Amino acid sequence: DNNRLVATLRDSLFSRQASRVKGVAANVSSGSAHSQAVALPGCRLAEEMKDGADGLLDVYDLLPFDNPDGGAWKQGFEISYKGDEWDEQPLELILVPHSHNDPGWLKTFENYYQDQTKHILNNMLIKLTEDSRRKMIWAEISYFSKWWNNIDEQKREMVKRLVKAGQLELVTGGWVMADEANSHYFALLDQLIEGHQWIQRHLGVKPSSGWAVDPFGHSPSMAYLLKGAGLSNMVIQRAHYAVKKHFAQQQTLEFLWRQNWDSSPRSDITCHMMPFYSYDVPHTCGPNPAVCCQFDFHRLKGGRASCPWRIAPQPITEQNIKERALLLLDQYRQKSRLFRSPVLFVPLGDDFRFVESSEWDAQFGNYQALFDYFDQHPELHVKARFGTLSDYFGALHRRLNAAGTTLPTLRGDFFTYADRDDHYWSGYFTSRPFYKRLDRTLEATLRYPISPVTQVHSLINDPDFPTSKHFQRLTAGRRNLALFQHHDAVTGTARDPVVVDYGTRSLIVFNPTEQLRSSVVSVVVDSPGARVVDAETGRPMTTQISAVWAEPSRASTEHFQVNNSWILFNYLMYKLQLRSGLLRRVQVQFLWYGTRTQTEKSGAYLFLPGDKGAQPYSSLDPPLVRVSRGPVFSDITSCFQHFSHTVRLLHLDGHAGRSLEISNTVDIRSEVNRELVMRLVSDVANSNRFYTDLNGFQMQQRRTLSKLPLQANFYPMSSAAFLQDAASRVSLLSAQSQAVASLRPGELEVVLDRRLQQDDNRGLGQGVTDNKLTASLYHLLLEDRRGGAQVRGPSQEVALLLHRKGFDCSSTPDVELQCTWSVHEEVEDNTHVIN
């Protein structure tokens, strides 16, 4: 179905283009170039999308990013009110208890469960049952399912009753609270399906609201998936503090999040953005954290937690209840002035809260006393209660509908996140790149076996398939992949032992592909005489024997690599190749970023480069260069101290043969506070605009802004980035997620690896020093954007000729190689080491 849809869309676009050309010719005198254009049902071009939706790019252009001191709300502003704003419509407060349980961060998933999570859930069952007014939300199904497996049937029935009564709500319903920068949409969908299927199977309900309070930035791809999964509302927290301030001033912290391509409301999802610094109690009741902390009753005197502002909470008594209630109500009223409705959402919780029975009693008991006081004093015009996200959004929509108020519509994403000053969280886009590559490899390995088509086929042929060992292994693989989408896993922001725990959960299975494509398959063998034959015909297939390099200048005598051009046949394949005669110069540079010399430095989360910016990579010794040429591919490998860099041309039809394959193997384990960068420098006149993908699902325009610091102009690249001008587009397709930037016109740079000796004060308590020998893989593609490009046959073979006294690099119409190599040392006849 997808192939037919894409084919129809393609044919429609060709028809439209032809009609436009015809229209221009027929209407040149009238100036009407669109009168003959063919309409595409259900599809509009970008210039036709005028629906009044605001975009985050325009907000970024507007904001000064000056960060003045806002007083009690340091990143905001002073909030005032008269006091009579709620006389006609009382303030409706909904306090939502929650406990944020990371499936791995400072401890492993298993250790967190044993030490904290199981006690939270055990107490939840008891404490919610004691009082029907008490409520709670829970997000991480990975933990909830593990706990469910360890409780008896009586307790399971208690859980079902709490869910049915609306006291316990499972929010988002994902296996984890997923990262939204590095994760591919397939893995995001996998963890969402895994969680939703578990909930449906065991509790018979579907989540209706999303809860993402800790991912380090937010993607519209996730909003789209949630909407498609049946959710209507969502809550987000970590957005740039300047964006939060702007939205608060405009009362647009609640909005309809719309996809970039959509001009209709069909993809809209109601989104609530928390206005303040964090999701903990001091930053959720109102703008003054010193006051709000006094109402976190887990921090009562004598406990293990305290308030940094040195004013401790007080137990609510008859003697102090009036003063306490009015102090808290003032914060509620100030916060409500940032929203368009008199319904106020206030979270109550933090990381791994409600472990002990005493915290449940302290929080629920003291807040219930305050709520009762509000009820007994109607002149305060406030109604307060415990609730869930469904309670809040239900009340919100009722009030908005009754008042005829509509929420604004917004497009775009919330990257790159900054929580204060110039502290941009662009470091984690690359941190632990070895595991980011491993994540994508596991995803590709699982993709075919867990597809619905494959599972239906297996069920038809084997009704016992769901109980088979194969299915159980696939389920384990899915859940391991899902677990790694956690916002402290694929991000590379967990402690060393936790990272190792994630890495040892990987599963490798055979993966046939679903699409027709030409690709190169490499296998290491122990004989140079190995050959490949077609399994059906027995005929030999084109292969190439390559050396396996034991060291940069010494080939292995025990192992060889068989490279076979393998064409996988399926239903359809369209080959479109441009004969443009277009030449673009592209240079590859490698550079180092250091970190600041002052106290605050780069770490697992933050990228805080030194004042000098990127410095060219230099080596005392000349690089060793290897050249290979054969019928399947030709390549050049340059070996430096900290990395090897290979550029390969595949002699294949299709896009694979029309792009450069770039691979790097990086080892920076000897370095201190350094980050290695690969920069592509071209003559593409893209100004300050470039594009990156979001989760391998959609492309997002980026604008490099001089008013922002260097680290703010780095963005997540899950699988692609490109530069373009009126003539051409240069695309970098990536097999792993990394940070990417275009700091100057024509440039595109990716951060390959980071080694940082210190913590960046975001809770991890360590640097990033567990670096490994790490491979990264890309394809560099040139496309013609000028009109009238002709379709042509297979791209011509590029000969890489090695001469005794230098290199002669031929060129294609697509790529020009500038080579100035010279012979460094002759090892033996016909074998040269080049620098």
- Token pair 């904290």 in the structure block, residue: 116
Question: In the predicted model, is pLDDT for residue 176 greater than 50?
Answer: yes
Instruction: Give the mean model confidence (pLDDT) for residues 593-606.
Output: 95
Tokens matching residue 681: 């420098």
Going by pLDDT thresholds of 50, 70 and 90, the confidence category of residue 581 is low
Instruction: Give the mean model confidence (pLDDT) for residues 373-396.
Output: 98
The pLDDT value given to residue 3:
79
Going by pLDDT thresholds of 50, 70 and 90, the confidence category of residue 539 is confident
List, for residues 790-803, the tens digit of each pLDDT value.
333 222 222 222 22
The pLDDT value given to residue 511:
41
Lowest mean pLDDT among 56-65, 132-141, 473-482, 495-504: 473-482
Q: What phi-psi label fits residue 233: left (phi over 0), alpha (psi between -120 and 50 degrees) or beta?
A: beta
The pLDDT value given to residue 546:
81
List, for residues 276-318, the tens digit of each pLDDT value.
999 999 999 999 999 999 999 999 998 889 999 999 999 999 9
Is 51 among the residues known to form the active site? Answer: no
Q: Which residue from 27, 50, 23 is spatially nearest to 39, judged by alpha carbons?
A: 23
Phi, psi of 344 (to 5 degrees): -120, 125
**Mean pLDDT of the chain, nearest integer:** 86
Lowest mean pLDDT among 7-21, 67-81, 583-597, 618-632: 7-21
- Which tops the pLDDT comparison, 655 or 452? 655
The pLDDT value given to residue 534:
73
Question: In the predicted model, is pLDDT for residue 438 greater than 70?
Answer: yes
The pLDDT value given to residue 150:
98
Strands 747-755 and 774-784: unpaired
Question: In the predicted model, is pLDDT for residue 392 greater than 80?
Answer: yes
Question: In the predicted model, is pLDDT for residue 633 greater than 60?
Answer: yes
Phi, psi of 385 (to 5 degrees): -160, 160
Residue pair 380/374 in contact (Cβ under 8 Å)? The answer is yes
The pLDDT value given to residue 459:
59
Residue 562 and residue 664: Cα distance in Å, rounded?
Answer: 20
List, for residues 701-715, the tens digit of each pLDDT value.
999 999 999 999 999
Going by pLDDT thresholds of 50, 70 and 90, the confidence category of residue 128 is very high
Rounded to 5°, the CA angle 98-201-475 comes to 95
List, for residues 39-60, the tens digit of each pLDDT value.
555 555 555 556 667 899 999 9
Lowest mean pLDDT among 66-75, 534-543, 741-750: 534-543
Residue 27 and residue 260: Cα distance in Å, rounded?
Answer: 32
| CA-CA-CA-CA torsion sign (103, 106, 111, 112) | negative
Q: Which residue from 833, 812, 813 is spatially nearest to 824, judged by alpha carbons?
A: 833
Going by pLDDT thresholds of 50, 70 and 90, the confidence category of residue 561 is low
Annotated catalytic residue within 214, 296, 350, 419: 214
Residue pair 335/285 in contact (Cβ under 8 Å)? The answer is yes
Instruction: Give the mean model confidence (pLDDT) for residues 14-27.
Output: 65
Rounded to 5°, the CA angle 183-184-186 comes to 125
The pLDDT value given to residue 717:
98
Helix/strand/coil for 17: helix
Residue 108 and residue 142: Cα distance in Å, rounded?
Answer: 13
The pLDDT value given to residue 800:
27
Residue 360 and residue 346: Cα distance in Å, rounded?
Answer: 17
List, for residues 250-264, the tens digit of each pLDDT value.
999 999 999 998 988
Instruction: Indicate the burial class of 464 (C-beta count within 10 angstroms; 0-12, 13-18, 19 or more).
Output: exposed
List, for residues 83-95, the tens digit of each pLDDT value.
999 999 999 999 9
Going by pLDDT thresholds of 50, 70 and 90, the confidence category of residue 621 is confident
Residue 582 and residue 604: Cα distance in Å, rounded?
Answer: 41
- Token pair 């679903």 in the structure block, residue: 514
List, for residues 721-756, the tens digit of each pLDDT value.
999 999 999 999 999 999 999 999 999 999 999 999
CA distances from 50 to 44, 47, 55, 261 (A): 10, 8, 12, 11
The pLDDT value given to residue 654:
74
Instruction: Give the mean model confidence (pLDDT) for residues 377-391.
Output: 98
Instruction: Indicate the burial class of 552 (C-beta count within 10 angstroms; 0-12, 13-18, 19 or more).
Output: middle
The pLDDT value given to residue 457:
54
- Token pair 């209407």 in the structure block, residue: 27
The pLDDT value given to residue 50:
61
Going by pLDDT thresholds of 50, 70 and 90, the confidence category of residue 190 is very high
Question: In the predicted model, is pLDDT for residue 528 greater than 50?
Answer: yes
Residue 626 and residue 546: Cα distance in Å, rounded?
Answer: 12
Provide the whole-model pTM.
0.86
Question: In the predicted model, is pLDDT for residue 328 greater than 50?
Answer: yes
Residue pair 195/141 in contact (Cβ under 8 Å)? The answer is yes
Residue 226 and residue 195: Cα distance in Å, rounded?
Answer: 12
The pLDDT value given to residue 648:
93
Question: In the predicted model, is pLDDT for residue 102 greater than 50?
Answer: yes
- Which tops the pLDDT comparison, 825 or 571? 825
The pLDDT value given to residue 826:
32
Question: In the predicted model, is pLDDT for residue 452 greater than 60?
Answer: no
The pLDDT value given to residue 595:
97
